[in-house]
Amino acid sequence: MTGDGGSDASGVDPQELWLTSDRPRRGRKPAFSRESITAAAVALADAEGLDAVTMRRVASEVGAGVMSLYSYAPDKATLIELMVDHVSGELPVSGAPTGDWRADLKAIAHLQRALMLRHPWLPAALSTRRSLGPHTLAFLERALAALRPTGLDGAAKLEVFAQLTGFVAGHVAHEIAQAAAARSPERAAAEARYLAVVAADGHHPELAEALAAPGRALTPEATFTRFLNRLVDGLDSD
Amino acid sequence: MTGDGGSDASGVDPQELWLTSDRPRRGRKPAFSRESITAAAVALADAEGLDAVTMRRVASEVGAGVMSLYSYAPDKATLIELMVDHVSGELPVSGAPTGDWRADLKAIAHLQRALMLRHPWLPAALSTRRSLGPHTLAFLERALAALRPTGLDGAAKLEVFAQLTGFVAGHVAHEIAQAAAARSPERAAAEARYLAVVAADGHHPELAEALAAPGRALTPEATFTRFLNRLVDGLDSD
DNA sequence: ACCATTTCCGTACGTCGTACGAGAATGATG
DNA sequence: CATCATTCTCGTACGACGTACGGAAATGGT
């Protein structure tokens, strides 16, 4: 318990993390940094998935002892929040509102999607908890600015942003799962075989028909854009 | 490796789980059942959350040895899929299409939301993997029937259902998180304090304003309905 | 009576997050 | 420069997890 202003990452409030001032005047000098540890964790997750992010792996990646990490983040959940905010720093914060708030909102969603495709673990990490780090907040600020012309009240604007983010995360998660399934033909074949059995049992005529009608191959991008347009275009109808 | 038709739960294909015929003619009689184990796991998750569902806890809840569970499900992930399909059995399968497919689709979404509120671990369990058990398929069949009047092709109908489910899961997850936050005033106060600091730093004018404008208190139900309407009402605009 | 088959489950292994606390490094103070 | 409080480093250890292994027990077919 160091009171406020210490650089250690303990504290009751999760938010207190983002408020820690950076340099204590006494004591041993830190050999690592929150930044480098977070970056290593992100690189690990990008390369091998979120499950590969263990305290031991991150520590060895960064050349530290395992327990040293706990000087920079009080627990693993916090480290993941740091990761989320870290990659959120890749989101452009400039690009002020154009006046067409629908277009602005769609552009924002596309930025989020691109980020999540670049860091496929992000939707899963977001589903655990909402982070409120500086980069996340900067992007939120941009989204709120874009929503200004709607005249919505504060709570509604925040709600729209949360909903939009949730929508993008859900879509990208699905998109990634599809891509992964397509990459392992054995799994895909097994599922197809199973569905064929179900379709043949006579109790699922609609499913049978849906599977029989091929439907044109649509890029994930196109599907995303279509649903996004539907959601955003309906946004001011109360 | 028992070939096909055995009651053990092994097999390369995850789907094979749902195809296992139930009674092998030889060997010791099972002391438990997939059903009772799954039900115990569901009860546990309902009462203490998904993290409380460990093989040891489920086994002790059901009066079995830990390793006995593996005669009924090949691994924990499969057990969770069983749980998902189990609670999906609570979804009414009757209630044929009324002809107004938008209303039907909205009703379906409301049913899903109610189910997820009753089993708050469900959104998290769904985010891991899509299950295709008999109850899930029965409900999918109903949704496809409701979508028939749209004239969408098979792939598009499946996509719409996946998207709708994802939307509901995302919304309910958010809803549950909000409710949990509201129930622990300390956390809420900490977050409010933190946001106040951020709002006061001058770099987040939009956020400051959004927080200042109170906005009427809207029930989660109302918010859900609003977003759902937006999504569904835009659905046939190509 | 025998045996193939299936289930039951105690034991054990490797991995995880992380509590503890001893040692090393540092800046402030005399 | 000596002391000391402070801060960081990290080896060790603990409990909990998923689950592989394999022997014991039960069952139905022969």
Gap from A65 CA to chain B (nearest CA, Å): 28
Q: Which residue of B has its CA nearest to A212?
A: B154
Inter-chain CB proximity A154 and B215 less than 8 Å: yes
Q: Residue B7 above 90 pLDDT?
A: no
Inter-chain CB proximity B13 and A227 less than 8 Å: no
CA torsion sign for A234, B217, A136, A47 is: negative
Domain boundaries along the sequence of chain B:
15-73, 101-233
Architecture of the structural domain at A101-233: Orthogonal Bundle (1.10)
More confident residue, A137 or B95: A137
In angstroms, the Cα distances linking B32 to B4, B18, B75, B135 are: 22, 18, 16, 21
Token code pair at residue A140: 């939120």
Least confident interval from B12-21, B88-97, B145-154: B12-21
Please provide the average confidence, as pLDDT, over all residues in chain B.
89
Q: From the CA of B7 to the C1' of D25: give the distance in Å.
A: 19
The residue among B206, B216, B232, B233 with the most chain A CBs within 10 A of its CB, best to mutate, is B206
Q: From the CA of B58 to the C1' of D18: give the distance in Å.
A: 13
C-alpha–C-alpha distance, residues B76 and B41, integer Å? 11
C-alpha–C-alpha distance, residues B76 and B55, integer Å? 7
Gap from B87 CA to chain A (nearest CA, Å): 20
Question: Among candidates B105, B209, B90, B210, which has minimal Cα distance to B150?
Answer: B105
Inter-chain CB proximity B154 and A194 less than 8 Å: no
CATH numeric code, B15-73: 1.10.10.60
Inter-chain CB proximity A137 and B166 less than 8 Å: no
What residues contact B132, with CB distance under 8 A and at least 6 apart? A191, A194, A195, B15, B18
SS (H, E, C) A100-147: CHHHHHHHHHHHHHHHHHHCCCHHHHHHHCCCCCHHHHHHHHHHHHHH
Under the banding of pLDDT at 50, 70 and 90, the label for residue B2 is very low
Mean pLDDT by 10 residues, chain A (238 residues): 39 66 82 97 98 98 97 96 97 88 96 98 91 94 95 92 95 92 85 90 94 84 93 77
Token code pair at residue A212: 């029989």
Q: For residue B29, give the DSSP letter.
A: P
Nucleotide nearest to A26 (CA to C1'): C27
Cα angle B40, B167, A114; round to 5:
120
Nucleotide nearest to A59 (CA to C1'): D10
Query: Could you identify the residue written with the tokens 């919505």?
Result: A152
Coil/strand/helix, residue B141: helix
Token code pair at residue A202: 């006579």
Q: Does residue B118 contact residue B90 with C-beta atoms inside 8 Å?
A: yes
The highest-confidence range among A177-191, B41-55, B87-101, by mean pLDDT, is: B41-55
CA A17 to chain centre: 19
**Rg of chain A, C-alpha, whole Å:** 22
Average pLDDT over residues B139-160: 93
C-alpha–C-alpha distance, residues B53 and B40, integer Å? 9
CA torsion sign for B78, B84, B89, B95 is: negative
Under the banding of pLDDT at 50, 70 and 90, the label for residue B15 is low
Question: Among candidates B57, B59, B36, B35, which has minimal Cα distance to B48?
Answer: B57
Each residue's pLDDT tens digit, B183-199: 888 888 888 889 999 99
Residues in chain A: 238
C-alpha–C-alpha distance, residues B131 and B126, integer Å? 8
Inter-chain CB proximity B137 and A198 less than 8 Å: yes
List chain B residues with CB under 8 Å of A224. none
pLDDT at residue A66 in the model: 98
The residue among B13, B20, B132, B164 with the most chain A CBs within 10 A of its CB, best to mutate, is B13
C-alpha–C-alpha distance, residues B192 and A223, integer Å? 38
Q: Residue B10 above 90 pLDDT?
A: no
C-alpha–C-alpha distance, residues A214 and A20, integer Å? 56
In angstroms, the Cα distances linking B132 to A71, B57, B95 are: 44, 26, 21
Residues 181-210 of A with CB under 7 A from strand C: none
Q: From the CA of B29 to the C1' of D28: give the distance in Å.
A: 10
Interhelix angle B205-212/A134-147, nearest 10 degrees: 70
List chain A residues with CB under 8 Å of B237. 229-230, 233
The residue among B139, B142, B161, B163 with the most chain A CBs within 10 A of its CB, best to mutate, is B163
Q: From the CA of A46 to the C1' of D12: give the distance in Å.
A: 31
Q: Count other Cβ atoms within 10 Å, centred on residue A57.
A: 16
Q: Residue B105 above 80 pLDDT?
A: yes
Q: Residue B145 above 70 pLDDT?
A: yes
Q: Count other Cβ atoms within 10 Å, centred on residue A31.
A: 12
